[in-house]
Structure 1
Amino acid sequence: MTTHSRQKRTPRPLDPARLDDLALAYVARFAVSAAKLETYLKRKLAERGWAGAGEPPVGDLVARFVQAGYVDDAAYARMKAGSLRRRGYGERRIGQALDAAGIAAEERQSVTGSEASQRAAALAFARRRRLGPFAVAAAGGMDRAVQRAAREKQLAALLRAGHRADHARDVLDAADPQAAEAWVAEGGELENDA
């Protein structure tokens, strides 16, 4: 028996038509910001090389896609912020994700959630991670030192998730899930996150 070793084929360098096709396939498959599209195209050019005349027209291609509406940073920011908020992440963490995607500060500011949505996100995170009123009580109870250490660990988890310190403490201080829900309701009307 003979085993055939597969040799890795070197991809052909990109030309303007292939670069355009690659960009179109990328935005068709993923929701992206202009900065993410530019980063992707530059990475592909570094991997495969450029066979076209002159410099690769990455900036022009991205601008054309923005002009055509294939890439919309405002829509991307709303979608990403809403998705992260529903998963229980706080405004600081949402801002970091949008910054990493190349969203401008003005756009990041425009998708800041209301007080009620920030509270709902903190509650969703606590529920998902079983923190505060959603924590499973240890059998036999815990002494004060263990309770304090558990609370500090839960508080740290909420802070790492991007929640404000006062919201994190309020969620953890809720006596039961109903009290936590009432705390969210006190924050006002929930907005519809896209």
Structure 2
Amino acid sequence: MADGDATRRRVRRTPKPLDRTRLNDLALHYVARFATSSGKLEAYLKRKLRERGWDGEGEPDIDGLVSRFAEKNYVDDEAYARMKTSGLLARGYGARRVEEKLKADGLGESVRAANAPKEYEAREAVFAYVRRRRFGPFRIAPKGEGPEAAHKAREKQLAAILRAGHSFDHARRAVEAGSERELEEWVAEASD
């Protein structure tokens, strides 16, 4: 016969309030597990303080802790921005989405500006996006599709590319390209 205690739900213990040591340990554990920015680390620590409370002497020095971690290179905003930018561009997202993501991650204006995609990178990203989504010259039109349906599909493709953060000119150029080769040449001409 089954033990009655075995079927009871486990009771979650309430985590201890934070003090300087626990806050430092939490921050250290976080930066060891995740590539992060100063802004994200600060937001994480503030959230943990709200959840668990503060039991230390004085006020918690989150800004000092974050700046100390930056000095020790546990947190490197430049490297994080480069990594995030290259990852988003490789997945086909445009400059606007890259800017929004870096801003949401708490990176400063100068870091965001330094990591803004160049024209060639933006064109490569839109090329990658339309190839992955099978838009423009990569689209295989259904048999018997009329001009009205093709126009509607084009409009939907333009909207999707714009939502991915690309400029209207890049979106229009990618959707209206007659062939994959034409699109490749358009990307290549920006590399000069």
State if a TM-score over 0.5 links the two structures: yes
Which structure has more RCO (C-alpha within 8 Å, separation ≥ 6)? 1
The runs of 4+ residues in structure 1 deviating greater than 3 Å are: none
Cross-structure match for 2:82: 78
Offset at residue 96 of structure 1 (A): 0.3
In 1, the alpha carbon distance for the partners of 2:123 and 2:9 equals: 57
Offset at residue 65 of structure 1 (A): 0.5
Cross-structure match for 1:96: 100
Q: Deviations over 1:56-92 (max 9, x none)?
A: 1211100100111111111111111111011100000
**2:151 aligned to 145, 148, 151, which one?**
148
In 2, the alpha carbon distance for the partners of 1:185 and 1:114 equals: 13
Cross-structure match for 1:172: 175
Answering whether residue 190 of structure 2 is matched by residue 187 of structure 1, we say: yes
Q: Structure 2: which 5+ runs fail to align?
A: none
Q: Deviations over 1:129-178 (max 9, x none)?
A: 111111122122x1121111110000000000010111111111111212
**1:29-178 pair list within 5 angstroms:** 29-140=33-144, 142-178=145-181
| 1:162 partner SS | coil
Offset at residue 11 of structure 1 (A): 0.8
Offset at residue 28 of structure 1 (A): 1.1
Equivalent pairs, count: 188
Cross-structure match for 1:192: none
In 1, the alpha carbon distance for the partners of 2:166 and 2:42 equals: 31
In 2, the alpha carbon distance for the partners of 1:20 and 1:125 equals: 41
Q: Structure 1: which 5+ runs fail to align?
A: 190-194
Q: Deviations over 1:15-48 (max 9, x none)?
A: 1111111101111111111111000001111111
Answering whether residue 9 of structure 2 is matched by residue 5 of structure 1, we say: yes
In 2, the alpha carbon distance for the partners of 1:113 and 1:46 equals: 37
Under a length normalisation based on structure 2, what TM-score does the superposition of the two structures give? 0.94
In 2, the alpha carbon distance for the partners of 1:127 and 1:9 equals: 50
Q: RMSD of the alignment, in Å?
A: 1.1
In 2, the alpha carbon distance for the partners of 1:173 and 1:58 equals: 51
**2:32 aligned to 22, 28, 34, which one?**
28
20-29 or 174-183, larger mean C-alpha shift: 174-183
